[in-house]
Every structure is written in C-alpha cells, then in structure tokens.
Amino acid sequence: MFDVAIIGAGVVGGMIARKLTACDMKVCILEKESDVAEGATKANSAIIHAGFDAKAGTLKALLNKRGSDMMQDVCKELGVSYKRNGSMVLGFSNDDEKKLREIMENGEKNGINGLEIISRERIVELEPNIADGVTCALYAPTGAIVCPYELTLATIGNAMDNGAELMLDFKVERIEKTDVGFEILSDEGTMVDAKIVVNAAGLYSDEIADLAQCKSFSVHPRKGEYILLDKEAGMTVSHTLFTVPTSMGKGILVSPTVDGNLILGPTAVDMTDKENKDTERDGLDRIIAESARMVKSADIRQSITSFCGLRAVGDTGDFIIDMPSKGFVNVAGIESPGLSSAPAIAEYVAELLENNGFTLGVKVDFKGEREPMKGFSELSYEEKNEIIKKDPAYGRVVCRCENITEGEILRAIRTNPKPRDLDGVKRRTRAQMGRCQGGFCSPYITELLSKELGIPMEQVEKTGKDSYILSGRTKEVVENA
C-alpha cells in the first residue's frame, strides 16, 4: 500500500510528489496520458508571476508570492533553467494608468517588492522595440521565466529517484473508500491502494472528486492559443510584456523564453470540450494584432509553430485546496498563477495533511539535487571534446536546428521519467523544437527510440495513444502488393 497516491502528473502533482517523498512517504503518481506534463503544464506562458495581480487575501495571492520566492532555489536544486527577467504591464492611456496604480496597490498588499509605475522614456530605455502607443507601465523586477515541462520532468524525476513510482496510461475509473484509505481502479483494471489521495487532475479534478463523492466545485476549460517565434526573434524584448488584465486573465503577452525563442499569446475563450486543443484563425489573428500594439518588431514571419493549451478554471474564483473527506485532498482550479505557485502549493498540501492528523517524517537520505539535462551545446570546445572522448555519441549531432547530439538523446531516454515517444524526447532535449520542427531529425530519433525501447520502428509513437508515424517497411509493402 502507498502512503499517498497523486492523481495527475503536471507541475503541481510533481511538486507535491517531490515534497511528500522528502517527508519519507511512499508515493505513487497516476497519470492518464503516456507522459508527464501532458496537460496545461506543457502549453502555458511559462511565466513566474511576481504576484501583483492576484486579489489580496486569496489563496492565489498567498501562494503566488510564496511560490515566486521559492522558485529560483527550486530550479537551482533541480538543474532547471530560470531567468529573472522582470515584467511590465503596459498602459496606453490615462485610464490604463489609473488601472495600473490599482494593480500596484493590490500587489503591495500582497507583499510584492519593487513595483513602480514608469514613464514611456523609462520603458524605451528598458525595451527599445516598444510600440509607439505605449505611454506607461507597471514594472515588476521580480517577474521571471522558466520552462514548465522541463521543471515538471525534473521534479517528477527527482521524486522517482527518491522512491516515488510513476504509473502512466492510468486513467482513474473508480475510487472506493476503505477502512485504511482508498482503492483506486484504472480503466484497464489496475488497482492501487493508498492511505491518502491527492487530486491534482487539472481539468478533470472535478470528475475525480465526483468519483470519490467529494465534489463541491466544477471546472471548465479556458482555451489559450499561442504563437512561438524562431530564436532569431528571441531578442525582440528582454522583459515579459503584458497588457492590462481583464476578468478572463492577464491578456496577451510578448515574452522571451528561457530557450531563446519569443512567445506571443494567449487568447482566452471559455469552452465546454476538455479535449479541444485546436488553434483557430480568429485567435491567431488577435494575437498578431495585440502583440503589434505592444512591440514594433515582432516579425510574425519568424513563426515556427502555434499551439493551444486549456486552463482549468474553477467556479470559486480561487485555488481549491481542501480535504472534504479524511485523506482525500482536492488541489483544483489551479489556473494562472498555478505554475508560479506550484512549490508553495506542495508546501500547503503537506501542512494540510499534518493539520489533519497525518504524520509526515523526514527522509534522511533524500537527494534534492538533480543534474541538468541540458547544457552540452553551451560548453566550451575543450569541455565538449572531453565528453566526446568518453562517449562518442556526444559527437554525433542529431538535431541541427538546436544542436542536440545523440548522446543527449540517449541520456534522456535512460533518465527518469523515461520518454516513450518522439514528443517525450522533444520535451526533454529540445530535439525537434527548432525551425524545421523535426523534419530532419525525427527519423533518427525514431531509430534511437526503437533500439532503446526494444520495439520495431513501426511501433514508435509520436505522442502516445497509437500515434504511429510509420505504417511499415517499403520493401515489405512492395513484396506484399
């Protein structure tokens, strides 16, 4: 029996798993998809919000501030990219300036330091490419950027290295209360017993709560579309730029990424379909138009991909973190600033368990640090040559766009949590994430996965769920014709 079963392998579920593993608990993570970070975690703005926007007195405000304060140290421990680049909320009129002052006052109530309203002259000093219509901005020096799926992979990998178990393709079908905890049954008949269940299932957290007869809330998807530009556009801005937020969210942003690209978006459209991740012309046109109001030179011709994420919007207006039944913890409605708050949410859940009579210990041999998965391309020639002497696979470049080597890909395939498909390799190494989007390197990566997983190339998937990219060998097709 496990001490804790965490349903959902996103950034929040991963942070909770790592925290409870450090508390010497036997942890399993149950995920319905074929890999971790497959929900909102892989398709969001990748921003660590300073914390000025969340309404003072809410859980969002409390945990955003705490999570933002923790994030740099967490990323350092896990070998994850983090950059404190600062953020600006742009104003275009006197009315906007009044709203910015209200937001600043709210941020000061939340304990956010360094906030200031700055003039156009100061904005231009910081961002020379700012658009002509911008007149003022709220400047927050503590805003930062990360890679959310890199963070999640490192967090769950660290939890696994400390004893946590990850079960993929585990779609929860039934939850039964027992005398000692809970029985969790998958759609394929796999049973897991746990004393505690943490429901971190994102968009499906209301459905999971319903299975446990603990539903007191509902969650609906809010669609957000993005456009990602090539690294040639990555220096267009250095700060994260927002427009004045609305009830639907923080608006369209223009931001660099930790990997050197430029990201534009998201839109915000309330939906009912929890699986619809289609991008639409109207949404992309709106992103292009709104980003042009903010900066002068975001060249949309540098676009290399567009994508859509679904935010889990709860009906309470705040994060939902509670224990409605002994041992069953809801962690739901974790929309923005969920990524920023994730380490603090894990702390909050641990405290909630302790306050409800569960004993949390200390794992004396817990290893909280993890070696970075990226960085070979950033080494000096001398350092690279030393590594290549030890392992010639590092001398064979597979992904030309991102300069990712065979050695890096093999290391990723062999490191927890291990990828089982092409997109899994992409998120771990950035191979296939460049300008050609895998056009050159995906056949080679397919071959590497085939050898490492011990399966035919025809059985290698793009992103789980029978997403095969090869139907057979050409000679066999000809012979059987």
Catalytic residue chosen out of the listed positions 32, 49, 239, 420: 49
Q: Which of 4, 154, 6 is nearest to 71 (CA)?
A: 154
Give the number of C-alpha atoms closer than 13 A to the C-alpha of residue 103, restricted to the C-beta side.
Answer: 28
Instruction: Dig out the tokens for 344 from the structure.
Output: 């603090």
Evaluate the CA torsion angle 154, 222, 284, 293 in order and state its sign: negative
Please state, in angstroms and rounded to a whole number, the distance separating the CA atoms of residues 105 and 396: 54
CB of 204 closer than 8 Å to CB of 331: no
At residue 57, what is the residue type?
G
**Distances 370 to 28, 160, 206, 222 between C-alpha atoms, Å:** 20, 11, 33, 34
Q: Distance (Å, rounded) from C-alpha 214 to C-alpha 100? A: 40
The upper half-sphere exposure of residue 208, i.e. CA atoms within 13 Å in the direction of its Cβ, equals 30
Quick one: tokens of 182?
């809970």
CA–CA distance, 259 with 404 (Å, rounded to integer): 13
Partners of residue 185 on adjacent β-strands: 174, 191
Q: Is-catalytic flag, 220?
A: no
Q: Which two tokens stand for residue 328?
A: 């069953």
Q: How many CA atoms lie within 13 A of 86 on its CB side?
A: 16
Beta bridge partners of 309: 224
- Strand 27-30 and strand 2-7: the pairing is parallel
Dist CA 93 CA 108 (whole Å): 23
**Do the Cβ atoms of 308 and 223 come closer than 8 Å?**
yes
Query: Residue 267 burial by CB count (10 A; 0-12/13-18/19+): exposed, middle or buried?
Result: buried
Active site residues: 49
